Amino acid sequence: MTKQTIITLPGDGIGPEVTTVAVDVLKAACRAFDVEIETIERPFGGTGYDTDGEPVTQETLELCKKHKFVLLGAVGGPKWDDLSADLRPEAALLKLRRELGVYANLRPIQVYPALAGASTLKEDVIAGTDILIMRELTGGIYFGEPRFTTEHKGEIWSVDTMKYSRSEIQRIARKAFEAARFRDKRVCSVDKANVLESSRLWRKSVEEVAEEFPDVELSHMLVDNCAMQLIRNPKQFDVMVTGNLFGDILSDEAAMLTGSIGMLPSASLGDGNGLYEPVHGSAPDIAGQGVANPLAAVASVALMCRYSLKMEEAAAMIESAIRSVLDDGYRTPDLFADEEGTFRSGTTEISVRLLELVKEKAVV
Ligand code: IPM
Ligand code: MN
């Protein structure tokens, strides 16, 4: 058995519930391929603030950098909403992404056949959708300086800065083109080049990178149109590459194509580090009730196997267990639509079934 250490940051709300399931499934799947997963857990986000007086400590950041592979649950909640910007749970997440240098955020949008009826959109519109959103994660308006609030001429003003350098754009564009080579070889770059200066540089820089990839087709789309096209005809997209803020918004929208935001995993990569998190938030309204959908967190550890641990077979094993659980009819309340052959289930029930499935697959 080889040993592999990962850091877990369960965080707030439903974060701990879904992280537990994901870790159990990860351990079982890796064990099947003779890899022992060891976890080091640290408080993070609001829970970090309650424990240490700050949402993430320097020690935790160092630990994440040292071990390189991190699984995060979720951060945030009303309890911490009134804290100053630098103490808010979200600040910890942004700091972690930045410190790890994980500039490429991969959000795969796949419609599981068993869930095609669970979306608020028509089944024939979404069935067969398979999109990879490549969101730039460590730049843009999330991090641009200056940012401040001030009083001037009897008025209060706030400033955020949307800023991208050519090299920042080109490294994420390159990731998108590389990913497209393993897919349908199409990249759609999303910007607001009809208005924003930073978007005009974005478009030009992506076009330069496209010359390195003559086998991949590049198109451009304005972000407002893209928001519409995503629900009008999502099947038109293969790989979508976009900046931090646009990617944040479009990926929530795209999540609804899968039936529930509770289904969406993510991988953030860069500098040899990997940060894995479900896209859903901390859902404080349902925390502690045992009804959280753990599948996005579980799908996130599948991505960890694929991109960081380089265990493609374990990744495939986990993904096939997710499909089986859905085919068997298990549905957490976010997915439950009272369809024939489906039944309402809790987080633990799904976890137990996933572990059974992984063990069965490990034996054959
Ligand atoms: C996400 C989240 C975060 C973001 C928040 C929690 C800071 O919405 O991962 O999409 O805006 O990036
Ligand atoms: Mn978001």
Domains of the chain: 1-110+260-364 (3.40.718.10), 119-258 (3.40.718.10)
Report the nearest atom of ligand 1 relative to the CA of 137. Answer: 12
Give the orientation angle of helix 15-31 with respect to helix 312-327, to 10 degrees.
120
Whole-number Å distance between alpha carbons of 83 and 55? 11
Mean pLDDT computed over 325-340:
92
CA 247, CA 97: separation in Å to the nearest integer? 15
Mean pLDDT of 198-214: 98
Closest residue CA from atom 12 of ligand 1: 248
State in Å: Cα 286 to ligand 2 middle: 18
Between the CA of 214 and the centroid of ligand 1 the distance, in Å, is 33
pLDDT computed for residue 364 by the predictor: 64
Of residues 141 and 336, the one with the higher pLDDT is 141
Q: Which atom of ligand 1 approaches the CA of 244 most closely?
A: 12
Distance from the alpha carbon of residue 110 to the mean position of ligand 2, in angstroms: 17
pLDDT at 26: 98
Identify the pLDDT of residue 312: 96
Q: Is the CB of 248 under 6 A from ligand 1?
A: yes
Which pLDDT tens digit goes with each residue over 170-179?
Answer: 999 999 999 9
Q: Could you tell which of 44, 80, 109, 248 is best to mutate to test the pocket of ligand 1, judged by most ligand atoms within 8 Å of the CB?
A: 248
Q: Give the distance from CA 336 to its chain's centroid.
A: 22
What is the reported pLDDT for 363?
A: 74
Best substitution site from 9, 70, 75, 90 to test ligand 1's pocket, by max atoms within 8 Å of Cβ? Answer: 90
CB 99, CB 65: distance < 8 Å: yes
Per the prediction, the chain carries an average pLDDT of 96
Residue 197 burial (CB count, 10 A): 11
Higher pLDDT among residues 245 and 1, named by residue: 245
Q: Is the CB of 136 under 6 A from ligand 1?
A: no
Which neighbouring-strand residues pair with 7? Answer: 40, 70
**Predicted local confidence at residue 238, as pLDDT:** 98
Q: In this model, does residue 24 exceed pLDDT 70? A: yes
Is the CB of 252 within 6 Å of ligand 1? no
Q: What is the CA radius of gyration of the chain?
A: 20
Question: Please, which pLDDT band fits residue 134 given cuts at 50, 70 and 90?
Answer: very high
| Average pLDDT of the residues in 293-315 | 97
Distance 1 CA to ligand 2 centre (A): 38
Active-site positions read: 142, 192, 224, 248, 252
pLDDT of residue 116: 84
Give the Å distances, CA to CA, from 271 to 78, 180, 245. Answer: 34, 20, 22
**More confident of the two residues 176 and 115:** 176
What pLDDT digit, counting tens, does each position of 244-270 carry? Answer: 999 999 999 998 898 788 899 999 999
| pLDDT bracket for residue 160 (50, 70, 90) | very high
